[in-house]
Amino acid sequence: MKWTLPNTLTVIRLFAAPGVAVMFLYFHRPLADWFALTLFITAAITDWFDGYIARAWAQESKFGAMLDPIADKAMVVIALVIITGYSGMNPWLILPVTAILFREVFVSGLREFLGAKAGLLKVTKLAKWKTTAQMVAIAILFLGTGLEHLEGIARQGLTPDQYADLVSQGLADPIRSCGKKGDCSSYATMVGLGLIWVAAILTLVTGWDYFRKSLPYLREDK
């Protein structure tokens, strides 16, 4: 392979995927959450830049075309596993995450089965929107887990209302409270959950599209 800039960015993104998990092994929370969030966002940005640069500089390659979706899937899968664990196995999160993981495994297996014909399952515009929705949702959910940990430390057993009262009296950090209607982490989590459900729906739709396209090659020969 040629070590072009787009390929280098893709390789960096691939190694950044497990790096998100490593943050929680070597740093205490919420520092681990912020490092994981920063690393994930940085890697997600490279996903746009490497494709743009490859097209603009005519540096598209077979290696990049192969590795780019692998790096994206590694980022999404590893991040979702971590978030699900630190979110207390929230059932509203488990269902869309299960749908996303199922689709990614299914489509990867489908591509492997098709072999040389896997080119039929080219990445569509809707699939790109799906990936974008996944990454935005994951970033917001990481923000929610970090804020939740911060708020838990700050409140030390206080309810959001009690903590908001202390904020209004100047006795608590306002950065860790979003008023009496709820804490900051709950807002981030709700937005993140909404987006991950959108991502899950797009994920299933694109998965069905790939399956439909592969049907002619899955029929038994008579």
3-state secondary structure 128-140: HHHHHHHHHHHHH
* Least confident among 23-27, 46-50, 166-170, 194-198: 166-170
C-alpha 19/C-alpha 151 separation (Å) is 25
Architecture of domain 5-213: Up-down Bundle (1.20)
pTM: 0.80
With b for 16 or more beta-carbon neighbours within 10 A and e for fewer, the 176-192 pattern comes to: bbbeeeebbbbbbbebb
pLDDT digits (tens, 9 = 90+) for 98-145: 999 999 888 888 877 777 665 666 667 888 888 889 999 999 999 888
Residue 209 has, within 13 A of its CA and on its CB side, a CA count of: 15
First to last CA, the chain: 42
| 7, 1 Cβ separation under 8 angstroms | yes
pLDDT digits (tens, 9 = 90+) for 21-60: 999 998 888 788 899 999 999 988 888 887 778 777 777 7
C-alpha 4/C-alpha 50 separation (Å) is 10
**3-class secondary structure per residue, 174-189:** HHHCCCCCCCHHHHHH
Domains of the chain, residue spans? 5-213
